[in-house]
Structure 1
């Protein structure tokens, strides 16, 4: 099937200059250092666990490596080596169009920085972008059919389209958030102004329970928005910051495809596990039925 009318073809990109930064893992609470390096065209996005000396220290971004994990995205290679909490970083790579990158990291979890994507966006803009000359453009994935997934609580529906858009709905008992819906049309400019500053959020009554389970050990008021019964821990960056952050997470999870995705997505109360299942279903259907991107 030919590409959809108006479908955009992407050029391969990497970074111009190496970039290093340090931070704290949101769930591990441990310090981590990351070094970003340019990759060759066609190499893809590869995480390299420098704290592991085994040959299998490389973890490539691809649907086959998606692994379920609590409260975050996770990739794991065939040797069982994993990297977690990728979603904010991956959302920025998607938005900047970075398709080839080496990510050296000395721990199992990307740093949370300020709990948003804007922190990563600033770092990568400072590193600069470089288009990579190649005869083949980076073809986005567009399926010819709808996909609908549900886990009994959340729901995701994919519709073919020539651009990426997301309509997301959340519904919480907490009256501060309650029902929120936001429609987002994906461009770099829209991502930076509408989505990138939306922070990770949690409910105050859940903090102790998460930490007892070994999660959110690196969480603080510097990197998360805490939702109390009657107030937020700090002023909101956007009127609908919680639902916008859910869109941010979904954008990052979608780039675990390892290539851009075009389509219209309707999401309701989704989570990282369901997002990952959609990515794997998209890849599976692309291989078995053919698509507008092939």
Structure 2
């Protein structure tokens, strides 16, 4: 059957959803990693409907097109279970989307900011995928199938807006000639042809075997091994087109995390199974933090504890009280969210630095420590009977300067306790971007009577 795909506009907050009509009824399959049901040769989503599973197969190229064009909301209608294969890349999807035109919606785009390393490793297959903190979205991919017909290849995408359409969207899927018969017998490429994949010649085929390929794929002429290492001497669009296609697949698979990322992705030998496991890790972290919108705090967020409350609890006073309000305390998970409005009136700006005011990193750490101290005091039976003292600090990192006018949001978690000392991990944000992070410990000392 001929497959048709229709991209429809959707309101802000809709996300990406695939829609199939089953017995006249629309069945919606959300484009989320939670709905992945098969990875045998691509990424397949599925959902139960009237006791049966409704599937959408090989969604990665469609998802890559949408993510690469930074489309967050779209209703994608399919006439069949699989989108049109086209040429085995995302190019045709990109072309039709750009022709239709893109509309910028009023709502602010939400990003999930990776603030610490997230890693997936499969030692058996030599797979290693890691996400590292950065202010934008970058992907670097290395592939190596231990097959001399292809060898090792590398590629990198460093600017989604400038590079995706011209450098990656048209990279086609590929397979090895030695795989073709096996894949055909498994029913995984019966709809494919030489126009929708690069076939890398990694073994000799005689005329009889080539004739069989012609018949299986209903080709007008029998394929030839050629001289370039690509079946039929088909021209590559890029010297490292296989690596670029694996990056395209990774882009599409990671979009199933359900939120645009700010991260640097480094991937060695990625594939759909590994990509999806990694996307699950990202989505789990996002779901853990998104209910509180921890990285996008509004300046008018309602206080759990205001400045007058803080003055009753904290021993610090101006100019050394470095918290203005607390906007969330989670006693079960032992986390707290504090806010410091940084103004030009801060005394330390007089000397740090004249003409270029920058908040000292040590005071950012102090502000985080005070926030953690407040969480600790709130867990004690009678906080008025105790002092809390800094004991140690480690792994302090400062990523961006904090200047007058910034709102410093401090996210603290109590990691554990040993005797009378408590361990904390803190991350400070400005405008949803990490500016500092550290780990420290504090001691609780009973006041002398």
Into which bin does the TM-score normalised by the smaller protein fall?
0.7 to 0.9
How far 1:149 moved relative to its partner? 0.8
Counterpart contact for 2:37–2:44, Cα < 8 Å:
yes
Alignment of 1:167-246 (within 5 A): 167-229=140-202, 231-233=229-231, 234-246=234-246
Q: Which of 93, 100, 113 is 1:127 aligned to?
A: 100
Q: Which of 45, 48, 70 is 1:75 aligned to?
A: 45
How far 1:67 moved relative to its partner? 2.7
Counterpart contact for 1:51–1:106, Cα < 8 Å:
no
TM-score, normalization by structure 1 = 0.83
Give the secondary structure class of the aligned counterpart of 1:99.
Answer: coil
**Structure number, greater radius of gyration:** 2
Separation of aligned partners in 1, 2:33 and 2:167 = 27
If each structure's strand is expressed as a fraction of its own residues, which one has the higher value?
Answer: 2
Alignment of 1:27-66 (within 5 A): 30-54=1-25, 57-66=27-36
Q: Does 1:104 align with 2:63?
A: no
| Structure 1 residue ranges, 4+ long, deviating more than 6 angstroms after superposition | none
Counterpart contact for 2:114–2:261, Cα < 8 Å:
no
Change (3 A) 1:120 1:293: farther
How far 1:54 moved relative to its partner? 4.8
Change (3 A) 1:245 1:293: farther
Counterpart contact for 2:129–2:266, Cα < 8 Å:
yes
Q: Does 1:142 align with 2:140?
A: no
Change (3 A) 1:59 1:293: farther
Separation of aligned partners in 2, 1:182 and 1:37 = 32
Deviations 1:86-119 (A, max 9, x none): 1111111111111111111121111111111111
How many residues were matched structurally?
262
Give the secondary structure class of the aligned counterpart of 1:71.
Answer: coil
Change (3 A) 1:78 1:155: farther
Separation of aligned partners in 2, 1:130 and 1:289 = 28
> Taking CA–CA contacts closer than 8 Å with sequence separation of 6 or more, which of the two structures ends up with the larger relative contact order?
1
Aligned-pair Cα RMSD in Å? 1.9
Counterpart contact for 2:4–2:78, Cα < 8 Å:
yes
Give the secondary structure class of the aligned counterpart of 1:174.
Answer: coil
Question: Structure 2: which 5+ residue stretches go unaligned?
Answer: 203-227, 297-449
Separation of aligned partners in 2, 1:73 and 1:161 = 27
> Which segment is superposed worse, 162-171 or 78-87?
78-87
How far 1:150 moved relative to its partner? 2.0
Question: Structure 1: which 5+ residue stretches go unaligned?
Answer: 1-29
Change (3 A) 1:183 1:161: same
How far 1:286 moved relative to its partner? 2.5
Q: Which of 127, 137, 149 is 1:164 aligned to?
A: 137
How far 1:292 moved relative to its partner? 6.9
TM-score, normalization by structure 2 = 0.56
Separation of aligned partners in 2, 1:104 and 1:167 = 32
Counterpart contact for 1:84–1:108, Cα < 8 Å:
yes
Give the secondary structure class of the aligned counterpart of 1:130.
Answer: coil
